[in-house]
């Protein structure tokens, strides 16, 4: 009996420890960066591979106000409107300073306000920059003052794409067009430079794309979500790697690669620079001071344009939600920004199955319920073994109590007699525990599916549940979940009154935790408990009836 209790507690402890660790290991209190007066501009520019940094004209600075507020230099705003995006490009640097996602409201009670992913606002600064590097001439970069051909572009009905164009002419007579191409039903932006070489010498340059961000304020409190916010890169050799802001502060990244991407992630959304899979390049990061960080990539091989010819060099920029289907259609590894953790090999099939169900049901809440039912069916044989063992242990409780009274404090003789009873009854106490341990990874994997999937964001279920990614506003589901745990605990055998009290306390502890969990996860746990209770009650009733 003690072995069975040990394994049951191990299962419960494993769940609690893994959840607690998820919250604490990366999101504990962080040391705050102290703003300083100003940051030299040249720290914000990557260097060209094996050549001196491009000249950018008069020295400039990025001035930093109190409270991590960065004031950027600004020129003329160029606004672009598509079916999915609202974008603002600044003619100073040709940066994307603002990007709003039109089909993703900022909140349920603000349906008309699109979520702002990129922003130039002070302590929320998060922008996408790009430019050219080279030697012995001036190149346009993210400190260049471009000219805007027009200040508003709109993707109109019947059009597949729209292009926003900025221009700049270098002192040596080379004409540049910086082109942003937006396609219908796409969060991918093609960013390119068209180079018209009107000089008498070969033009040779390197393209770079980078993201600059002030990290968002850390979530505080016991129940903050364990979601990752920070940099990430992908290379064919090392695959997917997270590069936290602390990593950027500790050491600047410099890595050669062919293909790959550099991104900044946050819960549900990602911004990423991507190059052609055959393009040689280099990934880099920088701590720019004042709590401002940069991550990006640049071409390693120069693009060359002969005198009198024109050429083009470009990258792609993804600015949008971590929708699994969209990311799967991009360059290799982008789908991994949907971070299912170390149990991805379980989470990915669960997400596929959940999505498959939703395609037919049309409601994520009911899809979660049906997925829970399917998992219960899949684990039915294991659960059957576990519940039979528990029912038999429950049946033997009176006999075990008699052994306790007979041997008193002689634990050695009590344990020996108990093991003999198990042998006579052909009962293995561990049989009720091991099936439960097998299912723990599935629960953890599904936890990450429901937490990380942007498809759950603001997804309604029924009645008062309007957002499966948010806690139940009235705490009804967590309370129901707690009651279902009480019911299941009632069927679970306990060897002494103290153990029974501990078992009865567990639903209270778990209910408090689940008050702040996403409704989708609480719904899964509640339905799972109800199905577990029904199966366990049926088996217990049958075994006890046969024992009479």
| 395 confidence band (pLDDT: 50, 70, 90) | low
When pLDDT is averaged across residues 75-85 and rounded to a whole number, the result is 95
SS (H, E, C) 272-286: EEECCCCCEEEEEEE
| Rg, the chain, Cα only | 30
Distance CA 81, CA 101 (A): 10
pLDDT tens digits, 94-134: 999 999 999 999 988 888 999 999 999 878 899 999 999 99
Residue 179 pLDDT exceeds 80? yes
Q: What is the pTM of this model?
A: 0.81
Span 2-44, pLDDT tens digits = 433 444 444 455 445 444 444 343 333 333 332 222 223 356 6
* Nearest Cα to Cα of residue 120 among 211, 37, 188, 200: 211
User: What is the full DSSP assignment across 173-186?
Assistant: S-EEEEEEEEETT-
**Interval 311-330 mean pLDDT:** 95
Please say if the pLDDT value at position 279 is more than 70: yes
Q: What is the mean pLDDT of residues 255-268?
A: 94
What per-residue confidence (pLDDT) applies to 249?
93
| DSSP sequence for 87-98 | EEEETBTT-EEE
pLDDT, residue 482, reads 87
The more confident residue out of 21 and 277 is: 277
- Nearest-angstrom CA–CA distance, 155 and 258: 34
The residue with greater pLDDT, 370 or 378, is 370
3-state secondary structure (DSSP) of residue 392: helix
The pLDDT of residue 183 is: 97
Separation of alpha carbons 128 and 315, rounded Å: 12
* Domains detected in the chain: 2-21+348-547 (no CATH), 31-216+229-339 (2.70.98.90)
pLDDT of residue 7: 40
| Residues 441 and 11 sit within 8 Å (Cβ to Cβ) | no
% of the chain surpassing 70 pLDDT: 75
**pLDDT for 30:** 37
Q: State mean pLDDT over 340-366.
A: 91
Who has greater pLDDT, 229 or 425? 229
pLDDT at 65 over 50: no
The region of weakest confidence among 27-36, 224-233, 448-457, 477-486 is 27-36
Q: Is pLDDT at 508 greater than 50 in this prediction?
A: yes
Give the pLDDT confidence score for residue 463 in this predicted structure.
87
Instruction: Tell me how far apart the alpha carbons of residues 456 and 469 are, in angstroms, rounded to a whole number.
Output: 5
Average pLDDT over residues 258-265: 95
Helix axes 497-514, 519-547, angle to 10 degrees: 150
- 418-427, 430-439, 451-460, range with greatest mean pLDDT: 451-460
Q: 263: closest CA among 143, 133, 132, 117?
A: 117
437, containing H or E segment = helix 434-452
Mean pLDDT of 301-330: 94
Confidence band, pLDDT 50/70/90 cuts, at residue 253: very high
Distance between CA atoms of 371 and 204, rounded to whole angstroms?
Answer: 56
**C-alpha–C-alpha distance, residues 429 and 387, integer Å:** 11
Q: Which helix (H) or strand (E) holds 407?
A: helix 397-407
pLDDT of residue 540: 67
Q: Which of the four pLDDT bands, split at 50, 70 and 90, describes residue 413?
A: confident
Give the 3-state secondary structure of 14-34: HHHHHHHHHHHCCCCCCCCCC
pLDDT mean across residues, the chain: 81
- What residues have CB less than 8 Å from 435, skipping those under 6 apart? 379, 382, 383, 385, 386
Instruction: State yes or no: pLDDT of 393 exceeds 50.
Output: yes
> Which residues, other chains included, contact 389 with Cβ-Cβ below 8 Å and sequence gap of 6+?
4, 427, 428, 429, 431, 432
Counting residues of the chain whose pLDDT is more than 90, the rounded percentage is: 49
**Least confident window among 210-214, 217-221, 308-312:** 217-221
């Amino acid at each position: 009996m003690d072995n069975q209790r040990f394994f049951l507690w191990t299962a419960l402890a494993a769940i609690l420890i893994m959840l607690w660790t998820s919250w604490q290991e990366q999101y504990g209190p962080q040391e705050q960066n102290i703003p300083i007066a100003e940051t030299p501009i040249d720290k914000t520019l990557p260097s060209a591979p094996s050549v001196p940094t491009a000249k950018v004209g008069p020295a400039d600075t990025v001035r930093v106000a109190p409270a991590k507020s960065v004031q950027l230099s600004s020129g003329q705003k160029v606004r672009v409107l598509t079916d999915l995006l609202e974008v603002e490009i600044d003619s100073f640097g040709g940066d994307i300073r603002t990007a709003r996602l039109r089909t993703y409201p900022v909140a349920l009670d603000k349906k008309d306000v699109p979520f702002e992913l990129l922003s130039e606002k002070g302590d929320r600064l998060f922008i996408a920059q790009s430019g050219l590097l080279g030697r012995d001439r001036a190149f346009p970069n993210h400190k260049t003052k471009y000219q805007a051909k027009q200040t508003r572009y709109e993707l109109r009905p019947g059009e597949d794409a729209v292009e926003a164009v900025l221009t700049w002419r270098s002192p040596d007579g080379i004409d540049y067009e910086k082109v942003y191409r937006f396609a219908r039903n796409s969060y991918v932006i093609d960013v390119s430079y068209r180079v018209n070489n009107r000089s008498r010498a070969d033009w040779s340059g390197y393209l770079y794309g980078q993201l600059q961000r002030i990290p968002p304020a850390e979530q505080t409190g016991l129940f903050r979500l364990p979601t990752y916010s920070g940099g990430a890169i992908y290379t064919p050799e090392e695959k997917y790697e997270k590069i936290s802001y602390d990593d950027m502060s500790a050491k600047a990244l410099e890595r050669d690669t062919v293909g790959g991407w550099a991104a900044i992630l946050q819960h549900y959304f990602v911004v990423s620079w991507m190059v052609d899979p055959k393009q040689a390049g280099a990934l880099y990061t920088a701590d720019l001071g004042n709590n401002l960080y940069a991550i990006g990539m640049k071409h390693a091989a120069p693009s060359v344009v002969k005198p009198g010819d024109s050429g083009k060099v470009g990258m792609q920029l993804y600015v949008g939600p971590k929708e699994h289907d969209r990311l799967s259609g991009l360059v290799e590894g982008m789908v991994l920004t949907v971070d299912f953790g170390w149990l991805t090999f379980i989470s990915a099939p669960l997400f596929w199955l959940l999505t498959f169900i939703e395609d037919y049901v049309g409601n994520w809440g009911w899809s979660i319920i049906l997925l829970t039912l399917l998992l219960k069916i899949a684990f039915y044989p294991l659960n059957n073994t576990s519940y039979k063992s528990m029912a038999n242990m429950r049946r033997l409780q009176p006999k075990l109590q008699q052994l306790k009274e007979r041997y008193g404090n002689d634990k050695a003789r009590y344990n020996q007699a108990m093991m003999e009873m198990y042998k006579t009854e052909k009962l293995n106490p561990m049989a009720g525990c091991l099936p439960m341990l097998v299912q723990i990874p599935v629960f953890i994997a599904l936890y990450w599916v429901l937490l990380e999937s942007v498809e759950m964001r603001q997804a309604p279920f029924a009645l008062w549940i309007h957002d499966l990614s948010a806690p139940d506003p009235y705490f009804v589901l967590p309370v129901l979940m707690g009651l279902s745990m009480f019911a299941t605990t009632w069927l679970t055998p306990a060897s002494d009154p103290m153990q029974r009290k501990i078992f009865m306390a567990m639903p209270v502890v778990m209910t408090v935790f689940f008050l702040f969990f996403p409704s989708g996860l609480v719904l899964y746990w509640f339905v799972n408990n109800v199905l577990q209770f029904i199966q366990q009650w049926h088996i217990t009733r049958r075994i006890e009836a046969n024992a009479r």
